[in-house]
Amino acid sequence: MEQRVVLITGCSSGIGLSLAVQMASDPAKTYKVYASMRNLAKKERLLEYVKGFHKDTLDIIQMDVTDQQSIQDAKEKITENRVDILVCNAGVGLMGPLETLSQDTMRQILDVNLLGTIRTIQTFLPGMKTRRRGHVLVTGSIGGLQGLPFNELYCASKFAVEGVCESLAILLQHFNIHVSLIESGPVNTHFLSNLRQSESGDAALLQVDPLTRDLYDTYLQHCSSVFHSAAQDAQDIVQVFLEAIQSPSPSLRYYTNSALLPLTSRKLAMHDGSQYIRAMSKLIFSSSGPEDP
């Protein structure tokens, strides 16, 4: 059977790397995986996992999702001249009080998480449309479904990706192209160490009012305890990707962590949002927020 050609972005670490290794290791050699990363100097980690045994199922290629030329160059390296399965996974976190974020930082996050995803899809979609076949998968986030304090820009980027995918999915049914969002909660990857974060001592943070700084400290502790208690391994996320990829009729959304679903579902059911805001405040800051006037 013809191999299914897969392109994955952000394979230098984490979910992208694990997914590339797993798919390239399929015993039936079902997939030819193009594992892309923006900096090929980081390819050793991936090569270490595959130990040179995947010559006919894996290629590592350079691709920076913020650079259209680099995406185009990557496309030209795909010798099969088609992508059957496109995984838009590259992403960066950003945490800190909104007023501390510089214009440049905000632009960079949106450039990777939102525009990078859109650029990648734009580049490979015409081929899928012509062939009337394809599956676009995106690493989504709980932060794309519910707001999280001190993650306003990250959540904005991931909420926007939800809008892009949901809108595209409606159209692409007419082309036999599926769109799936793999909605992840916390995952043990390099995400936290790669995260852009306001640090204590940052000049911008020192200028923020004391209550915001206190709440930010509390949030950071909450965040680290959530990662400690509830984070999944990249391998758990890979299993959900494979479920979506192998399904004859893939869904738009897959949730990787059922423990986090109740709050998300409650949020979606709370039409005016106020109960969600109180529930989150209680969960993170151990208070339901300021008293009603």
Ligand X SMILES: NC(=O)c1ccc[n+]([C@@H]2O[C@H](COP(=O)([O-])OP(=O)(O)OC[C@H]3O[C@@H](n4cnc5c(N)ncnc54)[C@H](OP(=O)(O)O)[C@@H]3O)[C@@H](O)[C@H]2O)c1
272 marked as binding residue:
no
Q: How far is the CB of 227 from ligand X (least distance, A)?
A: 7
Using CB under 6 A as the binding rule, whether residue 187 contacts ligand X is answered as yes
Choose one: 187-195, 242-250, 260-268, 278-286; the region binding ligand X (CB under 6 A): 187-195
Minimum distance from CB of 142 to ligand X (Å)? Answer: 7
* 286 in a known ligand binding site: no
Do the annotations mark residue 49 as ligand-binding? no
| 204 assigned to a ligand binding site | no
Is 158 assigned a ligand-binding role in the annotation?
A: yes
**240 binds ligand X, rule: CB under 6 A:** no
Stretch that binds ligand X, among 35-43, 46-54, 96-104, 280-288 (CB under 6 A): 35-43
| Cβ 114 to ligand X shortest distance, Å | 11
Contact 6, 32 (CB under 8 A): yes
Residues 45-104 that bind ligand X (CB under 6 A): 64-66, 89-92
Count of chain residues binding ligand X (CB under 6 A): 30
Q: What is the per-residue burial (b if ≥16 Cβ within 10 Å, else e) of 100-126?
A: bbeeebbebbbbbbbbbbbbbbebbbe
In DSSP terms, 60 is beta-bridged to 35
Instruction: Determine whether 216 is an active site residue.
Output: no
Q: Which residues contact 70 (CB under 8 A, 6 or more apart)?
A: 38, 62, 63, 64
Distances (CA, A) of 240 to 68, 166, 186: 29, 19, 14
Among 7, 8, 112, 245, binds ligand X (CB under 6 A): 112
Which one, 40 or 283, has the nearer CB to ligand X?
40
Chain-centre distance for alpha carbon 42: 19
Structure tokens at 47: 């090569």
Q: Residues, the chain, total? A: 293
172: exposed, middle or buried (C-beta count within 10 Å: 0-12, 13-18, 19+)?
Answer: buried
Q: Which residues pair with 6 in a beta bridge?
A: 33, 85
In whole angstroms, how close is the CB of 90 to ligand X at the nearest point?
3
Query: Cα 196–194–94 angle (5° rounding)?
Result: 30
Q: How far is the CB of 35 from ligand X (least distance, A)?
A: 10
Q: Toward ligand X, which CB reaches closer, 57 or 117? A: 117
Task: Name which of 152, 90, 144, 148 is nearest 252 in CA terms.
Answer: 144
Q: Which of 49, 154, 254, 276 is catalytic?
A: 154
- Tell me: is residue 62 an annotated ligand-binding position: no
CA dist., res. 265 & res. 131, Å (int): 37
Interface residues toward ligand X, by CB under 6 A: 9-16, 37-39, 42, 64-66, 89-92, 112, 116, 139, 141, 184, 186-187, 189-191, 194
Task: Output the known binding site.
Answer: 10-38, 64, 141, 158
| Residues identified as active-site | 154
Task: Output the known binding site for NADP(+).
Answer: 10-38, 64, 158
